[in-house]
């Protein structure tokens, strides 16, 4: 006689209960659960905000890199034309002899780097260099002088104002970096036609004293305040690879994001080690850290120009394009970048042509009206990074 069904089945199986068959969770819903709240809010934003908490910036920075760069690309396309890249040329109008002790700088008089100090370049020589830059496609001309501040430099300021006026007369944007300036000097530069003033914060407030002791963090912020109050665009970013931690890169972006208004330009520099300086033996920052910083800056500073600055020459073409796809939309191009080598105009034009980029026009800013509705922001898709894979440098 056959056994009954109840006796033939294992007891554990008989105790199980079964419900209706349900579809598995969608890839989009699974991915959405992994997106930090701060990133979800940032990718839906239609305007910049200046009340970021450090924890929110950290959430974004620590997002898995493939998801982070994808989100940055989405934000970039909402606020900018993703094919437009600003071409800038930087000229050293006064080399070396600086009294500051910036640990990374070849121009400090405190270090033996083999750099010869010079007097300020003549006005006509600077304007000639600006014309060459313009003829080669640069639309922004930047001038840097190696000194601590502008105190007692009336003749130098007069000459710089002539340079500024002359460059503006060519139809170019013009930026200067002259160390600390006061409110009156900022107003004079504004009246001369200055477009932007560069004064980098370099790193976080906490790590800053490890790099510089001759100028405080608050003094740097004060200069930015003078520039902003004069109606000049603020250009302020940092240097990566100084020995800082992720928390310091987060701190830098947090500080800049909570200024009264976001800087018009945020330069991201990768340290170029200079022999003779205290940081002369450091290796370049790993590429993933550079890319993560650029993507975070793009998301937190959505309308700002994110400038791929010093150290770009050490990146492969594919790494540079990864940075552009993650939100960088400006470069320095030309013969030199202060005291270090720079990617050349011809090289950049060829790269742009290969990848479908084009030079931004003067005063264009590369901005556009939000092109992606907040509800349709593609951050919740489980996809690979918008940037191509690139090996660490």
Per-residue pLDDT of 203-236, as tens digits, reads: 999 999 999 999 999 999 999 999 999 999 999 9
Of the residues 142, 220, 249, 298, only one is catalytic, namely 142
Residues present in the chain in total: 393
Q: What is the pLDDT of residue 159?
A: 94
**Enclosing H/E stretch for 306:** strand 305-308
Give the pLDDT band (50/70/90) at residue 173. very high
The residue-averaged pLDDT of 15-20 equals: 48
Q: What is the pLDDT of residue 1?
A: 44
Q: Is 88 annotated as a binding residue?
A: no
Of the residues 153, 215, 307, 312, only one is catalytic, namely 307
Extract the tokens encoding 300.
């937190």
Q: What is the pLDDT of residue 32?
A: 52
Q: What is the pLDDT of residue 252?
A: 98
The answer to whether residues 66 and 384 touch, using CB atoms and an 8 Å cutoff, is yes
Extract the tokens encoding 118.
């010079």
The residue-averaged pLDDT of 91-105 equals: 83
Pairing state between β 305-308 and 330-337: parallel
Phi, psi angle pair for 303, to nearest 5°: -95, 0
77 is catalytic: no
Q: What is the pLDDT of residue 338?
A: 59
The answer to whether residues 304 and 265 touch, using CB atoms and an 8 Å cutoff, is yes
Residue 9 has pLDDT above 60, yes or no: no
- Spatial CA neighbour of 162 closest among 198, 195, 129, 126: 126
Render pLDDT for 343-362 as a digit per residue (tens, 0 to 9). 888 999 999 999 999 999 88
User: What value does the CA radius of gyration of the chain take, rounded to a whole number of Å?
Assistant: 25
Q: Is 342 annotated as a binding residue?
A: no
Of the residues 235, 292, 298, 312, only one is catalytic, namely 235
Better-scored residue on pLDDT, 27 or 279? 279
> Is the torsion defined by CA of 132, 134, 137, 138 positive or negative?
positive
Q: What is the pLDDT of residue 340?
A: 63
DSSP character for 98? B
Q: Where are the alpha helices (DSSP H) in the chain?
A: 5-8, 11-15, 27-34, 37-44, 54-61, 65-79, 123-135, 154-169, 183-192, 217-229, 246-257, 287-300, 317-325, 345-355
Task: Give the span between the Cα atoms of 377 and 384, in whole angstroms.
Answer: 16
Pairing state between β 358-359 and 238-240: unpaired
323 is catalytic: no
SS3 339: coil
Residue 7 has pLDDT above 50, yes or no: no
Q: What is the pLDDT of residue 383?
A: 33
Render pLDDT for 49-77 as a digit per residue (tens, 0 to 9). 999 999 999 999 999 999 999 999 999 99
The residue-averaged pLDDT of 157-176 equals: 96
Residue 266 has pLDDT above 90, yes or no: yes
Q: What is the pLDDT of residue 33?
A: 56
Of the residues 77, 78, 88, 98, only one is catalytic, namely 98
The residue-averaged pLDDT of 371-381 equals: 37
Better-scored residue on pLDDT, 120 or 112? 120
Of the residues 77, 78, 105, 312, only one is catalytic, namely 105
Residue 107 has pLDDT above 50, yes or no: yes
Task: Give the span between the Cα atoms of 177 and 100, in whole angstroms.
Answer: 14
Contacts of 43 (CB under 8 A, 6+ apart): 71, 74, 75, 299, 377, 379
78-359 classified as CATH 3.40.50.300: no
The residue-averaged pLDDT of 158-170 equals: 96
Of the residues 77, 78, 88, 102, only one is catalytic, namely 102
pTM of the model: 0.83
The answer to whether residues 104 and 243 touch, using CB atoms and an 8 Å cutoff, is no
102 is catalytic: yes
Q: What is the average pLDDT value for the chain, to the nearest integer?
A: 85
SS3 143: strand
Render pLDDT for 128-144 as a digit per residue (tens, 0 to 9). 999 999 999 999 999 99
The b/e string for 213-235 (b: 16+ C-beta within 10 A; e otherwise) is eebebeebebbbebbbebebbbb
CA angle 352, 252, 377 (to 5 degrees): 55
The answer to whether residues 61 and 54 touch, using CB atoms and an 8 Å cutoff, is no
235 is catalytic: yes
What whole-number percentage of the chain has pLDDT above 90?
A: 66
């Amino acid at each position: 006689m056959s056994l009954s069904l109840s006796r033939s089945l294992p007891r554990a199986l008989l105790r199980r209960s079964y419900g209706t068959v349900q579809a598995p969770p969608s890839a989009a819903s699974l991915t959405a659960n992994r997106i930090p709240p701060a990133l979800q809010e940032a990718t839906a934003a239609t305007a910049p905000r200046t009340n970021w908490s450090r924890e929110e910036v950290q959430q974004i920075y620590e997002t898995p890199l493939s998801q982070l760069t994808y989100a940055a690309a989405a934000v970039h396309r909402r606020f900018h034309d993703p094919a437009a890249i600003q071409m800038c040329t930087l000229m050293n109008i006064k080399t070396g002899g600086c009294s500051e002790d910036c640990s990374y700088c070849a121009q400090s008089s405190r270090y033996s780097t083999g750099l010869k100090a010079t007097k300020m370049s003549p006005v006509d020589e600077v304007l000639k260099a600006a014309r060459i830059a313009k003829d080669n496609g640069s639309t922004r001309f930047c001038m840097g002088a190696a000194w601590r501040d502008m105190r007692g430099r009336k003749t130098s300021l007069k000459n710089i104002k002539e340079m500024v006026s002359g460059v503006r007369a060519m139809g170019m944007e013009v930026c200067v970096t002259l160390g600390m300036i006061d409110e009156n000097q900022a107003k004079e530069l504004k009246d001369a036609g200055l477009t932007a003033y560069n004064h980098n914060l370099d790193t976080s407030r906490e790590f800053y004293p490890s790099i510089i002791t001759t100028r405080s963090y608050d003094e740097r912020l004060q200069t930015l305040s003078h520039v902003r109050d004069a109606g000049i665009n603020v250009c302020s970013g940092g240097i990566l690879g100084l020995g800082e931690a992720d928390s310091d890169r987060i701190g830098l972006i947090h500080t800049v994001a909570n200024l009264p208004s976001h800087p018009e330009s945020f330069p991201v520099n990768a340290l170029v080690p200079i022999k003779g300086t205290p940081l002369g033996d450091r290796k370049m920052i790993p590429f993933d850290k550079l890319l993560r910083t650029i993507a975070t800056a793009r998301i937190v500073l959505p309308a700002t120009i994110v400038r791929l600055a010093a150290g770009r020459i050490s990146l492969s073409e594919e790494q540079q394009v990864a940075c552009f796809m993650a939100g960088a939309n400006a470069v320095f191009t030309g013969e030199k970048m202060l005291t270090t080598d720079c990617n050349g105009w011809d090289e950049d034009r060829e790269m742009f042509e290969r990848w479908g980029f084009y030079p931004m026009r003067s005063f264009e800013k590369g901005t556009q009206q939000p092109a992606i509705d907040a509800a349709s922001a593609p951050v919740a898709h489980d996809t690979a990074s918008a940037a191509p894979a690139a090996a660490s440098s």
